[in-house]
Amino acid sequence: MPTITYREAISQALWEEMERDERVFIMGEEVGVWGGTYAVTRGFLDHFGEKRVRDTPIAEGVIVGAAAGAAMAGLRPVAELMTINFALLAMDQIVNTAAKLHAMFGGQITCPVVIRTAGGAGRQLAASHSQNLEGIFAHFPGLKVVAPATPYDAKGLLKAALRQDDPLLFVEHATLYPTRGEVPDGDYTVPIGKSEIKREGRDVTIIAFSKMVLLALEAAQELAQEGIEAEVVDLRTLRPLDMEPVVASLKKTNRAVIAEEDWRSYGVGAEVAARLYEEAFDWLDAPVARVAQAEVPLPYNRELEQLALPKVTDIVRAVKEIV
């Protein structure tokens, strides 16, 4: 099986779906001439032409609004936002227009727009450009939110996203683009709304998504050297949230640690913890532990930024406290 980067996996998914379905087109800032901020669409303009690879003004509300309109009219647009931080400028178009059209019109309208965006911290982009906002968008019914951790899942989930009929926010952690993993040749999809066990274990369940899955797997390897076998569950999709593998894992290990890069307060981890207490309280042998970013606007200074972000050592420490 070929080993490729996360960036290449995303690019392959877009290319293959554009070849497969002429209704798919890309629009966003610098997606054409410059090939995208993270080089995902490099070469697309020359191959598919200006009609299907459209550079836009720096106007996120316009990008998502126009994409939603195109989706309502029967096309399958991919609206690229340079970072999830800029999605706040398109909040109304995402959560009040795209997410609600199907319900408000009694199922007569679909809006199959895929909004691709990069999130996450660790690149010294300071507080307003380093946020993990997927939990905010996952709050809204009608909008699917996907956050893959591996190249395999990134390609399969993006292809699945482009074939379904709901508005979907596809969040790519910016530091994952150079990471590598096995991706099969040929067409495949990964089901949206299905969590997956990435590592089997018996002593504790570590629940994570996006980049934190890689840190959780690294922590599990370190813990194994001390005789603690951790099971790692990758949520992959935040709405709809698939808790079945999470609950099943907890019933086996009786302990859980949730690792996320966003803030603890009102985040994805808070929702997962609440669900575990509601659905599997009798199987818990210890309180659910949570690892997250420090509750501060992220500093620009590299040393301070790294101090604020969750690390492998934090996950290891949290596990040892409850095992």
Active site residue 173: no
CA angle, corner 113, sides to 109 and 114, nearest 5? 150
Side chain identity, residue 260: E
CB neighbours of residue 59 within 10 Å: 14
What are the angstrom distances between the C-alpha of 17 and each of 114, 115, 148, 165, 182? 12, 15, 18, 15, 20
> 205: which strand partners?
231, 256
CB 249 within 8 A of CB 231: yes
Q: Which residues lie below 8 Å from residue 280, measured CB to CB, with a gap of 6+?
A: 247, 250, 251
Q: Say which of 129, 139, 218, 229 is annotated catalytic.
A: 129
- Edge-to-edge strand ranges of the sheet holding 237-239: 53-55, 24-28, 76-81, 114-119, 168-173, 144-146, 237-239
Q: Which residues lie below 8 Å from residue 196, measured CB to CB, with a gap of 6+?
A: 153, 233, 234, 236, 245
Burial of 226 (0-12, 13-18, 19+ CB in 10 A): exposed
Active site residue 129: yes
Q: Say which of 60, 196, 231, 261 is annotated catalytic.
A: 60
Q: Specify whether the backbone of 130 is left (phi greater than 0), alpha (psi in -120 to 50) or beta.
A: alpha
Q: Which residues are catalytic?
A: 60, 129
